[in-house]
C-alpha cells in the first residue's frame, strides 16, 4: 500500500509546473520582503494609515445587497467554509490523480494561515480597539487556494502566459476577499496586502518542497 502511494506521488503531475518554478520563487522572495516590511511598518498600530483611510467603508459598512455578497465571500475564509472548500478541492485532485496538488492544497493553505495567525500577535496591529488584524488570514487563504488552482491551469502554457494567468487568478481571488474583509470592517486594506504577500511567499516554496519529496 505504501509503495503504491509512493509510486502515485512520483508519477503525479507537479504541484508547481517547471515553467512557473523560477518566476514563482522570485515572486515568493518579493512576497516575503513585502510581508516583513509591512509588518515592521504597522507593528503596534491601531489606526488606519494614510493609504488605508480613503479605502475604508463608511460607518454603515457595505450597503445592501452587497453586504450579503461580502458575507458569503467572508464565509469562504472562515474555518467551516475553508474546510468545505478544501474537501471539494482535495476530492477533485484525487479524482484527477493530482496527489501533489492535493498535498499543496492542504499543506500550502495550512502553512499560510498558520503563519498569518502567528504574525498577528507578533505585529500587534489592532482594529476596533482590540482585534488583531495584520496580516489578513482570510485574504491569505483565498490567495493560497487561488495559486494552487492556477498552477494546475497554467501547467501547459508558455512562461509569459502561465505567469500572467497565475498572477491574474491570484489577484482576482485575493482582491475579492480583500474587498469583503475591508467592506465588513474586519481589516485595514494594508492587512489584506499583507495576507496576499504571505500566500505569495509560502505557496510556491511549499510546492517546490512537495515536488522534491515526491520525486525521491
Task: HSE, CB side, 13 Å, CA atoms: give it for residue 189.
Answer: 12
Q: Is residue 155 part of a domain?
A: yes
| φ, ψ for residue 127, nearest 5 deg | -135, 145
Indicate the pTM of the whole model. 0.92
Q: Is residue 12 part of a domain?
A: no
Q: Tens digits of per-residue pLDDT, 2-29?
A: 565 566 666 778 889 988 999 999 999 9
> Which is nearest to 188 in space by CA: 49, 36, 32?
49
- Cα 180 to Cα 11, 91, 142, 148: the distances in Å are 39, 27, 12, 21
Q: Is residue 56 part of a domain?
A: no
| Residue indicated by cell numbers 469583503 | 180
| φ, ψ for residue 25, nearest 5 deg | -70, -35
C-alpha torsion sign, points 88, 89, 90, 92 = positive
Taking the CB of residue 86, how many other CB atoms lie within 10 A of it? 18
Q: Is residue 169 part of a domain?
A: yes
Q: Is residue 51 part of a domain?
A: no
CA distance 5 to 178: 38
Q: Is residue 78 part of a domain?
A: yes
Cell of 71: 458575507
Q: Tens digits of per-residue pLDDT, 86-140?
A: 999 999 999 988 999 999 999 999 999 999 999 999 999 999 888 999 999 999 9
Q: Tens digits of per-residue pLDDT, 70-90?
A: 999 999 999 999 999 999 999
Domain ranges, residue 209: 19-42+61-215
Q: Is residue 209 part of a domain?
A: yes
| Total of domains in the chain | 1
CA distance 188 to 182: 6
Check if the beta carbon of residue 115 is closer than 8 Å to that of residue 139: no
Amino acid at each position: 500500500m505504501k509503495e503504491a502511494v509512493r509510486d502515485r506521488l512520483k508519477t503525479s503531475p507537479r504541484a508547481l509546473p517547471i515553467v512557473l518554478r523560477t518566476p514563482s520563487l522570485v515572486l515568493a522572495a518579493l512576497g516575503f520582503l513585502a510581508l516583513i516590511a509591512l509588518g515592521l511598518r504597522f507593528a503596534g498600530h491601531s489606526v488606519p494609515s494614510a493609504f488605508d483611510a480613503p479605502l475604508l467603508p463608511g460607518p454603515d459598512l457595505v450597503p445592501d445587497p452587497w453586504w450579503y455578497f461580502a458575507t458569503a465571500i467572508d464565509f469562504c475564509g472562515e474555518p467551516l467554509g475553508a474546510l468545505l472548500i478544501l474537501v471539494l478541492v482535495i476530492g477533485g485532485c484525487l479524482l484527477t490523480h493530482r496527489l501533489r496538488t492535493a498535498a499543496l492544497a492542504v499543506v500550502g493553505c495550512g502553512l499560510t494561515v498558520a503563519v498569518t495567525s502567528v504574525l498577528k500577535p507578533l505585529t500587534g496591529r489592532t482594529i476596533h480597539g482590540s482585534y488583531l488584524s495584520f496580516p489578513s488570514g482570510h485574504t491569505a487563504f483565498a490567495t493560497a487556494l487561488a495559486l494552487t488552482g492556477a498552477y494546475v491551469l497554467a501547467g501547459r502554457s508558455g512562461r509569459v502566459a502561465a505567469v500572467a494567468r497565475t498572477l491574474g487568478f491570484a489577484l482576482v481571488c485575493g482582491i475579492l476577499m480583500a474587498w469583503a474583509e475591508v467592506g465588513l470592517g474586519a481589516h485595514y486594506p494594508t492587512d489584506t496586502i499583507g495576507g496576499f504577500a504571505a500566500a505569495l511567499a509560502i505557496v510556491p516554496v511549499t510546492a517546490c518542497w512537495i515536488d522534491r519529496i515526491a520525486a525521491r
